[in-house]
Chain A
Amino acid sequence: MSRHATGPGREPGRSGGGADDQTGRPRRKRVVLADSRAPVTVLRTVVELEEQTSYGEALVNQFVRTQWRTALVLGAVAMVPLLVLPLLFFAVPDLAEVALAGVRLPWLLIGIVPFPLLFGVAYWYNSVAERHERDFVAMVEK
């Protein structure tokens, strides 16, 4: 039973059938006997994905590759600066002596800057990944 089901369900008194009990008359329903457009297409493509036809599998593989590339690129954007820092301070020890507003550079660059950087990249990834997913759904349902 789907969660959109109405009318007296298996469990009377739960939210699904509640409206009927209160008003005392049956809820108005819209009955559609045939809607030949969109849903059939969705079903067909979804079935194609589910059954792993060569077309469906190619679609999934391409999508997985896109997501993987996004993750790698954004991972590099966040991690490369962090991974370079220890080497930088090791190679140029004088850099650690620089102070900005009374705080030494290592404490600023390691102690504060990474946190907004990590959040920013995560935010970016979240929107990109969700966009890819929307595109994929749109393509499947077109």
Chain B
Amino acid sequence: MDARIWALAGVVLVSAATFYLGYVSSRSASTTQDFLVARRTVRSRRNAAAVSGEYLSAASFLGVAGLVLKDGADALWYPVGFTAGYLALMLFVAAPLRRSGAYTLPDFCEARLGSRTLRNLAAAFVVFIGILYVVPQLQAAGLAFTSITTLPNWVGALLVTVIVIVNVFGGGMRAITVVQAFQYWLKLFAIAAPTFIMCVLFIGSGGPRGGEIAGLSEPLPPAFTENTTLHVETPVLLEVQDTVKLVAGGVVDGERVGGSAYWTPLGSPYEVDAGTELTFFQGSAVPVVVGAPPTNDLWLVPGGEPDDLFGTYSLMFALFLGTMGLPHVLVRFYTNPDGRAARRTTLHVLMLLGLFYLFPIMLGALSRLYVPELLVTGRTDAAVLELPMKIASGVWGEILGAITMAGAFAAFLSTSSGLVVSVSGVLSTDVLRGRVRDFRFATALAGGAPLALAIVLRPQDITMSVGMSFALAASTFCPVLMLGVWWRKLTWVGAAAGMVVGGGLVLTSLLLDTVSTFTGDWAPMIFGQPALITVPVAFLTVVLVSKATQNHLPGDVAQIRLRMHAPDGLGFIRDRAVARFGTPEERAGLSDGRHRK
């Protein structure tokens, strides 16, 4: 009970700090420029902290450790891919994208290719990707909140939505820049400090089984550290490597059971229904979800099947190229004063992310020893939250748990804020008339719709559904951005065709994959992570269709290229105006401070 109070205090503190910072920085926000791009005056260091703060979502803070706990060495590609995406962003799009002077991703498409149709298509994809990304954040918030209070799932999601909407309502991009920069450092602290303390405790106690630090290299399944009773909340398929004695109450393999049972490798897999209660004894082997490496020595090395290799490459494709297509990341780059600052921002981001990701990896490995019971329920995303109380006992464990919980809430808040701002920016300028009032109305929409979806839809692995957004971004916006920046023969027809084909393929495979999980898992691996196929197909479509439609080449392509690539010092940069950019007084106020260095 005490642990819950500590954790609740952590959440309240983070929420209050977020709210206060948003309020303070909202007071200077009055124009559409403030709301969309923070007047393009954010310096590179602060912007880098804000980009990182926004980017380290629930998938990074909770999901990476959870995946390392479940999949081991293969999951290491997630943090690497999340970071490497920024190198691709820096090399190929950061500076030219900022110099194009656009204020949203659809605006860039129109600036470069001069087509309203393409702009509307891009706007639709931005809204779709934004919602696809924000829903798992809200669901994770709901789950985390449920674990510290007795309130139902939707309360946490509602809490996050309300704080985000209030902040964005007050100051848009201007408000969330400071909030997100603060939240990066908060998250770094909230994961680094507990990791250090837990590592010291781990080494000090000589490992959980008394001096066996090498426990992770044995060809054995992980073992329960104490007698453990688990409630299965979503149906799971479990397999065991050794015979396991347990007490089960509920439905297993479609039959009602109650009392002692033996699970054997021959009888695997066992299908456990929701609502079943399983009790395991100290030292017995932990059954794992089908598909995850069952023993520690397999967990420690990359998967040896061709399917694993294929999945790894597909994941790398999605993450390396998807980051540059994420609308909420790109919108932060428009807040830089010039192209050079955009490039430097990315450089700082690479450092900040590299620093952060060391910790979830270590926590994931520690969880394999201390909280293996999460493998049974499949709730591996909770590893970061439950680990502290297992390693540190008493009030210290509770405080460490509260710190990680606060960090997790910072992750939900900062990522959701960024997504809501980017989606509202697009909605307010493309669907509505682009006034501050419209931005606020769009904010309510952009926050409310995902909240409804988060409550209705069934939660999945956070990182998995986020991985899907990356695949979608890599197959729609990445080809348009890369070719738009570097290839002069791109036409709007080609770009639109590529987006439709790439996006269509990803959505089809997502649909087929979902259908197949309900009808006996017939879909091959590729449907779960299709980027390896869809990204090259999208690129090819853009190139071929563009070559076939050279008569649609925009007339001012040479000028736009000059503007995107000419060094900032020559002064070719022209910030595009929103169609109806507020009142004349607002516009007059913009002329100073716009090119602050």
Contacts and interface: CB of A to CB of B under 8 A. Distances in A.
B90 A133 contact: no
A64 B309 contact: no
A21 interface: no
Contacts of A57: 558
Contacts of A35: none
Contacts of A78: 84, 87
Given A90-B304, A115-B357, A83 B87 contact: no
Nearest to B349: A122
Given A86-B309, A119-B351, A119-B354, A46 B316 contact: no
A40 interface: no
Given A104-B300, A110-B73, A60 B565 contact: yes
Interface stretch (B173-181, B339-347, B415-423): B339-347
Interface in B295-330: 300-302, 304, 306, 308-309, 312-313, 316, 320
B47 interface: no
Given A93-B304, A111-B76, A82 B591 contact: no
Interface string B56-99: 00000000000000000100110110011011101110010000
A63 B558 CA distance: 13
B341 to A, nearest CB: 11
A52 B91 contact: no
A130 B339 CA distance: 10
B300 A75 contact: no
Contacts of A63: 565-566
Contacts of A50: 559, 562, 572
B486 to A, nearest CB: 5
A71 B92 contact: yes
B350 interface: yes
Contacts of A119: 347, 350-351, 354
Contacts of A19: none
Contact of A106 (B301, B569, B595): B301
Contacts of B207: none
Given A93-B304, A104-B300, A129 B95 contact: yes
Contact of B354 (A46, A75, A115, A133): A115
B358 interface: yes
A14 to B, nearest CB: 7
B591 A1 contact: yes
A109 to B, nearest CB: 9
Q: By CB atoms of chain A within 10 A, which of B87, B306, B572, B588 has the most?
A: B87
Nearest to B301: A96
Q: By CB atoms of chain A within 10 A, which of B76, B306, B591 has the most?
A: B76
B570 interface: yes
Given A60-B566, A104-B301, A3 B592 contact: yes
B567 interface: yes
Contacts of B566: 49, 60, 63, 136
Contact of B570 (A68, A74, A123, A140): A140
Interface in A105-142: 106-107, 110-112, 114-116, 118-119, 121-123, 125-126, 129-130, 133-134, 136-137, 140
Nearest to A115: B354
Contact of B91 (A1, A71, A106, A130): A71
Contact of B302 (A49, A52, A90): A90
Q: By CB atoms of chain B within 10 A, which of A50, A110, A136 has the most?
A: A110
A86 B353 CA distance: 22
Nearest to A126: B347
B304 A82 contact: no
A134 B302 CA distance: 45
B83 A68 contact: no
A52 B320 CA distance: 35
B436 interface: no
Given A3-B592, A64-B486, A90-B309, A116 B354 contact: yes
A89 B591 CA distance: 57
17 contacts: A14-B592, A46-B570, A60-B566, A67-B565, A79-B320, A82-B80, A82-B84, A90-B308, A96-B302, A104-B301, A106-B73, A106-B302, A118-B87, A119-B351, A122-B346, A126-B344, A137-B570
Given A86-B77, A96-B300, 11 more contacts: A1-B591, A56-B562, A60-B566, A89-B302, A106-B301, A110-B76, A111-B80, A118-B86, A118-B87, A122-B350, A126-B90
Interface of A: 1, 3, 10, 14, 46, 49-50, 52, 56-57, 60, 63-64, 67-68, 71, 74-75, 78-79, 82-83, 86-87, 89-90, 93, 96-97, 99, 102, 104, 106-107, 110-112, 114-116, 118-119, 121-123, 125-126, 129-130, 133-134, 136-137, 140
Interface of B: 73, 76-77, 79-80, 83-84, 86-88, 90-92, 95, 213-214, 217, 300-302, 304, 306, 308-309, 312-313, 316, 320, 340, 343-344, 346-347, 350-351, 353-355, 357-358, 361, 365, 486, 558-559, 561-562, 565-572, 588, 591-592, 595
